[in-house]
Amino acid sequence: MKTQEELNELKQEFETLTNKLKELTDEELKEVAGGSWVEKEEFKESGATIVHRKCF
């Protein structure tokens, strides 16, 4: 089981990565997401969950 400190660190890392992804251009986002099926506006509206929803 994760300690609260570990969970806080993971949360901070997730927020940092989410912010970095929001700053990407459409082309950069397509490269990170692995294809043209995630548009930047979709990502901005839904966040990282859009990748999960479209993959699974």
Other Cβ atoms within 10 Å of 29 Cβ, number: 20
Query: Would you say the pTM of this structure is higher than 0.75?
Result: no
Total domains, the chain? 1
Domain residue limits at 50:
4-55
Tokens representing residue 6 in the block: 């570990």
pLDDT in tens, 1-56: 779 998 999 999 999 988 887 887 777 766 766 655 677 788 888 887 887 777 76
- Residues ≥6 apart with Cβ < 8 Å to 38: 29, 30, 50, 51, 54
Q: Return the pLDDT at 12.
A: 92
